[in-house]
Amino acid sequence: MDSARFVEPLIPLASLLALGSLVAFYFWLRRQDAGTARMREVAESIQIGANAFLRRELISITPFVLLVALLLLIVMPGESNWEVAGGFVVGSVLSMLAVYLGMNAAVHVNVRTAAAARSSAARALMVAFRGGGIMGLSITGLTLLGLYGLSLLFGVSPATPGHVHLLVGFGFGASFSALFAQLGGGIFTKGADIAADLVGKIEQGIPEDDPRNAAVIADQVGDNVGDVAGRGADLFESGADILIGAMIVGLAFTPRYGWAAVLFPLLSEAVGAIGAVLGVLAVRGSERRSPLFSMNVGFLATGAFCLLSYYLLATCVMRDVRIFYCLVLGLLTALAVTLLVQYYTGITLRPVREIARGGMRGVATNLIYGFAWGMESAVALKILVAVVNVIAFYLMGGGLAGVLGITAATLGILVMKGIIMAADAFGPIADNASGIAEMAGLGPQVRHAGDALDAAGNITKAITKGYSMSAALMSSVVILFAYLLSAAQLAGVSGEHLSSFVTFGGADPEGMVLRLLRSLNLAHPLNIAALMIGSTIPFLFTSQAMKAVGRTAYRMVEEVRRQFREIPGLLAGRVPPEYSTCVDIGTAHALREMILPTLVGVAFPVAVGFLMGPWALAFYLIGVKVVGATLAIFMFNAGGAWDNAKKYVEEGNFGGIGSEAHQAGIIGDTFGDPLKDTAGPSLHILIKLQNILGITLLPLFYALGLKWD
């Protein structure tokens, strides 16, 4: 019997363990003290705003999900239309559910973190981290549940291996609703953030999170709907897409590795889910150690468990130790990327210092340096990942097996997803807790504990960013191969001939590979045109996202200024502002603005596929990927570096608060905000959405006989 079958039960068990732990953590958290009446009041405003936003967002998305499901039902070839359309709906729904669970926890945990901070910083850390852990466990648990459940339902088995392709609908659904969630949340959060900073800090000179600022609740809501919900949706979809892509790639390896090659990605995710539970439990906080130390204990616990399990999986299930090396290579890549991101955005290092110093000679020099360092960071990261791809390829001996090496390295990055997501959601929770403490007028020792958590949150943010960048860069290669291998198999190239397709050697007795390669040829103008079009899509998308933030911020700035102008006694602190109007403006704008870019993201690959054929679409997709990834890294790191350059000046360097360098720093930060928190993360999703959509539509292109040969 295939050794894979023997360990298969690990998959549902890990899913149940993750979801069960989630429930346990949830009840544990509900039992924590929620603080004073004033704290609960502030928290409730955030809960109401965030839940209202998420509810309206889900309502807005639903008709589009149904419409796309209906279209899939109609256009997909008859033998798979129900499965693809149904999988699409399941993927969308589980993505929304995961996001809802995670964000709902976050908006209840923030106040409890602030309350715990009154007595114990260690306790506060534990509360906040477990709150983040709920998002981490919900996305890993539900991904596994959805993919494994659908595999059973669709009868994916060694007897019918092709049914693996039916899972793509699930990935498409997850990507589709993730793009809405990330865009909507990103537009909301940055519109509010810019307005709060601009009118509050620059014009009125009042501190961050000051209760007199009408945009301050909207800003806090934004942290939850943008950073928590958006990032959760992002990691849910990237997990789903990578796993499905890896399973499809695995199909090509069943002759060599048996069914284990297909199940391996799910087993790897199962290991990650168990590791995440262990990691969240291991973060306990300590009065003597820094919050970062406690979190590192969690990372180490997860990492050690995953490494050990990976070794067993590689040697006992796949029976090829080289796969373990590739997995380790992936983990090391994530680590190296994280270090690079820390160099380019770290507050005491050269890039950030130079950007901050540039501000002493005017805003333009601050902007120019930030732009330049951000671009350089993209180069460093991407060349690193390109080299890792080549190493993983040759580690498995090159050829078709080399593709499995790249896939394994990507899974090696993915395995830490749960704990990374927990640490990521921890950031906005701590941020919110500080805000609540400030607004509820808690004493300085609470604020001190909050600041320590906040600082830790900023570091975990850099880590998760590096992580998600390396995951995105590596995974897009895997998903591209899933596309190419699917297309090749549909075109009739299979088994050993697939080797001839990705290597310089190999046989082609029937001329099939020649036919295929002619179509995948760089020397065809249609392919070049597709590549050119694809390479512009990230620019189009970024442009739309930026304009959306600009419009939202523009309206909200107007509103905050109006309140300061028209509400007597507001600035003196005698009368509270109308927080809810800002929340409403953000909600209305975000929900309206998220629709067009998402539909454009779906329409382009469909149009290219139908007009130029499935092979040109491959070139289109790689165009989206190479440009999108570079642009996203640039935006992440430039935004992060501008943010920290401002903080560096605020710490008293180059003239400190109120100096010319500080004014320049605030402008750089405000400009960088939508780059790093709206456009950048959405681009990550867009790349995968288009790839998985391409794979989904391949059977349709094939059925229509579109320029297939």
596 with 60: CB under 8 angstroms?
Answer: no
CB of 536 to its own copies, least distance (A): 4
Distances (CA, A) of 166 to 12, 41, 244, 543: 19, 48, 10, 34
431-442 per-residue burial string, b: 16 or more CB within 10 A, e: under 16: bbbbbbbbbbeb
- Nearer to its own copies among residue 297 and residue 528 (C-beta): 528
74 sits in which H/E element: helix 37-75
- Nearest distance, CB of residue 572 and its own copies, angstroms: 24
Closest by CA to 278, choosing from 143, 424, 422, is 422
In order, the DSSP letters of 643-699 are HHHHHHHHTTGGG-TTSHHHHHHHHHHHHHHHIIIIIHHHHHHHHHHHHHHHHHHHH
Least distance to its own copies from the beta carbon of 91, Å? Answer: 27
* Cα(63)–Cα(19) distance, integer angstroms: 28
Judged by CB, which is closer to its own copies: 500, or 587?
500
Closer to its own copies by CB, 522 or 572: give it: 522
Of 318 and 553, which has the nearer Cβ to its own copies?
Answer: 553
316 vs 514, beta carbon nearer its own copies: 514
* Shortest Cβ 368–its own copies spacing (Å): 4
> Nearer Cβ to its own copies, position 101 or 251?
251
| Shortest Å, Cβ 182 to its own copies | 18
Going through 289-442 in order, the beta strands assigned E by DSSP cover none
For the bound state, the minimum distance from the C-beta of residue 271 to its own copies, rounded and expressed in Å, comes to 26
Tell the smallest beta-carbon distance from residue 456 to its own copies (Å).
28
* Least distance in angstroms from the C-beta of 414 to its own copies: 19
Residue type, 658: G
**Torsion sign across C-alpha atoms 489, 493, 495, 501:** negative
- Looking at the DSSP bridge assignments, the partners of residue 160 are 157
- And the tokens for 612? 């130029």
**160 φ, ψ (degrees, to nearest 5):** -130, 70
User: What is the C-alpha to C-alpha distance for residues 557 and 379, in angstroms, rounded to an integer?
Assistant: 36
Residue 113 or 333 with smaller CB distance to its own copies: 333
Least distance (Å) between residue 203 CB and its own copies:
9
Toward its own copies, which CB reaches closer, 46 or 512?
Answer: 512
Identity of the residue, 80 or 519, whose beta carbon is nearer to its own copies in the bound complex: 519
Nearest-10 Cα torsion for 283, 287, 293, 297: -30
- Among residues 179, 188, 228, the alpha carbon closest in space to that of 64 is found at 179
Considering beta carbons, is residue 47 or 544 the nearer one to its own copies?
544
> Helices 291-312 and 260-282 meet at what angle, rounded to 10?
150
Beta carbon of residue 97, minimum distance to its own copies (angstroms, whole number): 33
Closer of 459 and 622 to its own copies (Cβ): 622
CA-to-CA dists, residue 16 to 140, 313, 380, 418, 664, angstroms = 10, 20, 40, 14, 51
For 42, the 3-state DSSP assignment is helix
**What minimum distance in Å lies between the beta carbon of 606 and its own copies?**
16
CB of 72 to its own copies, least distance (A): 27
Q: Say how far apart CA 173 and CA 127 lie, in whole Å.
A: 32
Give burial (CB, 10 Å; 0-12/13-18/19+) of 566: exposed
The helix or strand, by DSSP H or E, that contains position 1, with its residue range, turns out to be none
In the bound state with its own copies, the residue whose beta carbon lies nearer, of 152 and 387, is 387
Half-sphere exposure for 549 (CA within 13 Å, toward CB): 31
